[in-house]
Amino acid sequence: MSTAAPRPIAFFDMKAQQALIRAEIDAGIARILDHGRFIQGPEVDAIEAGLAAFAGASHAVGVSSGTDALQIAMMAEGIGPGDAVFLPAFTYTATAEVPLVLGATPVFVDVEEGSFNLDLADLERRLELVRKEGRLRPRAVIGVDLYGLPADWPAIEALCAKHGMFALDDAAQAFGGALGNRRLGTHAHATALSFYPTKTLGCYGDGGAILTNDADRAELYRSLRTHGEGKTRYEVQRTGMNGRLDSIQAAILLAKLPLLEGELKARARAAAWYESHLAGRVRTPQVAAGSSSAWGIYTVVLPDAEARARVQDSMKAAGIPSAIYYPKPLHHQPAYAGAHAEGIAGGPPPLPVSERLCHQVLSLPMHPYLGEEDVARVAAAVLAGL
């Protein structure tokens, strides 16, 4: 029997990918050191064109982070005090932070057990409550494609169209996912991407982008990311921010984008391996018919917190990393509890699925460089802990 230690399994693996493109990255950075246009250099224009083409969107606007992508998209709509913004209670904090920073009120909506994404029936119920109370104007829905699984965009779009609301896709974990034959990026009025290093397309720092098919919105986003500038640099048309993507991060993305198509296939392959080992034993992520996940994060649902703790211990003993996204629903976070109570003054209905999932979800290693043996080892450690 071999006594060699098994090869370590990374939760996200950025090193394997870097080894493939290191020379290109070095050359790209060297070019920027030579030309010296560190901000808004030609690399930013090039990656914007590449992102738009990849997603099939008419416009891509590079920005400084996924959070700023959400913020700029909301600023462009003039969303602020007195406005209700509907978003899932089970997501990353940034989704809820942005409406609050702009003075708007987040209204937390429950999610579906199976897809982890917005529950449309609950969204409609809360929208009706806000409309009846008449204190807040329903202005926007931020749908999140959690873990890479596309939300029900046709239904969200239809609801937004009916009530004159802005549909914003927080696709920070889902770049590359698709509904039908259309990738995420054109299903909402605007789509926010994050290039945080561990996302499906990541840079080596902070970065993000906004995708849209609307030329007027794209122009506004370009203005807002540069302090609200007008046609000329020192004409300030509106209150904006410093929300630019820098040239070096754009060069990293340019080196990585050609790998993305193949990496998405490799993630889907790893997900299928997980499914073959785990289906029937734990609840595995279910992708709705006709859509495809970007598999940004691979998350299973365990019966309860005790079972999850046992599985985590079992994985830890086998030297395999795991993570909990997210341990608390946003309406229980100290920063958001007040806003939650205020959103529906008559008393917001409970959010049972979001509250339950926080005790049940466990994310397993997921990246394009996982081998079949790696997945088998992870799965064995999960099953041993049940």
Ligand X SMILES: *Cc1c(COP(=O)(O)O)cnc(C)c1O
Q: Are 150 and 177 in contact (CB under 8 A)?
A: yes
**According to CB under 6 A, which one of 67, 115, 200, 322 is a site residue for ligand X?**
67
How many angstroms separate the CA atoms of 369 and 102, rounded?
40
308: Cβ contacts below 8 Å, ≥ 6 apart: 302, 324, 359, 360, 361, 362
| Site for ligand X contains 65 (CB under 6 A) | yes
Residues 5-44 that bind ligand X (CB under 6 A): none
Contacts with ligand X, 132-161, as mask; x by CB under 6 A: ------------x-----------------
**CB of 261 vs ligand X, minimal distance in Å:** 21
Question: What Cα–Cα distance (Å) separates residue 29 from each residue in 23, 34, 256, 273?
Answer: 10, 9, 13, 37
CB atoms within 10 A of CB 17: 18
**CB of 227 vs ligand X, minimal distance in Å:** 19
| Site for ligand X contains 196 (CB under 6 A) | yes
| Site for ligand X contains 343 (CB under 6 A) | no
**CB of 172 vs ligand X, minimal distance in Å:** 3
Q: For ligand X, which stretch binds (CB under 6 A), given 34-42, 54-62, 168-176, 254-262?
A: 168-176
Closest CB to ligand X among residues 65, 360 = 65
How many angstroms separate the CA atoms of 178 and 22, rounded?
29
**According to CB under 6 A, which one of 117, 194, 354, 363 is a site residue for ligand X?**
194
How many angstroms separate the CA atoms of 278 and 379, rounded?
7
**According to CB under 6 A, which one of 91, 105, 200, 314 is a site residue for ligand X?**
91
Q: For ligand X, which stretch binds (CB under 6 A), given 101-109, 165-173, 252-260, 277-285?
A: 165-173
**According to CB under 6 A, which one of 172, 209, 268, 379 is a site residue for ligand X?**
172
Q: Are 315 and 322 in contact (CB under 8 A)?
A: yes
How many angstroms separate the CA atoms of 2 and 318, rounded?
16
Catalytic residue, candidates 15, 132, 162, 199:
199
Tokens of 164: 């004159």
Q: Helix/strand/coil (H, E, C) string of 211-223?
A: EECCHHHHHHHHH
Closest CB to ligand X among residues 117, 360 = 117
| Site for ligand X contains 95 (CB under 6 A) | yes
CA-atom Rg of the chain in angstroms: 21
Contacts with ligand X, 205-224, as mask; x by CB under 6 A: -x-x----------------
Q: For ligand X, which stretch binds (CB under 6 A), given 55-63, 88-96, 218-226, 251-259?
A: 88-96
How many angstroms separate the CA atoms of 193 and 349, rounded?
31
**According to CB under 6 A, which one of 28, 41, 66, 143 is a site residue for ligand X?**
66
Q: Are 67 and 98 in contact (CB under 8 A)?
A: yes
Residue closest to ligand X (Cβ) = 66
Query: Is residue 328 annotated as part of the catalytic site, yes or no?
Result: no
Q: For ligand X, which stretch binds (CB under 6 A), given 10-18, 52-60, 90-98, 242-250?
A: 90-98
Closest CB to ligand X among residues 77, 374 = 77
Q: Is 248 helix (H, G, I), strand (E, B) or coil?
A: helix
- Buried b or exposed e, range 38-49, using 16+ CB within 10 angstroms: eebbebbebbbe
**CB of 340 vs ligand X, minimal distance in Å:** 18
Residues 258-297 that bind ligand X (CB under 6 A): none
CA-based torsion, 16, 371, 364, 123: positive or negative: positive
Q: Are 62 and 247 in contact (CB under 8 A)?
A: no
Q: For ligand X, which stretch binds (CB under 6 A), given 60-68, 151-159, 229-237, 342-350?
A: 60-68
Q: For ligand X, which stretch binds (CB under 6 A), given 59-67, 180-188, 225-233, 308-316?
A: 59-67
How many angstroms separate the CA atoms of 364 and 378, rounded?
8
Residue from 327, 322, 342, 294 nearest 144 by CA: 294
The residues of the shown chain that bind ligand X, judged by CB under 6 A, are 65-67, 91-92, 94-95, 144, 170, 172-173, 194, 196, 206, 208
- Give catalytic residue positions: 199
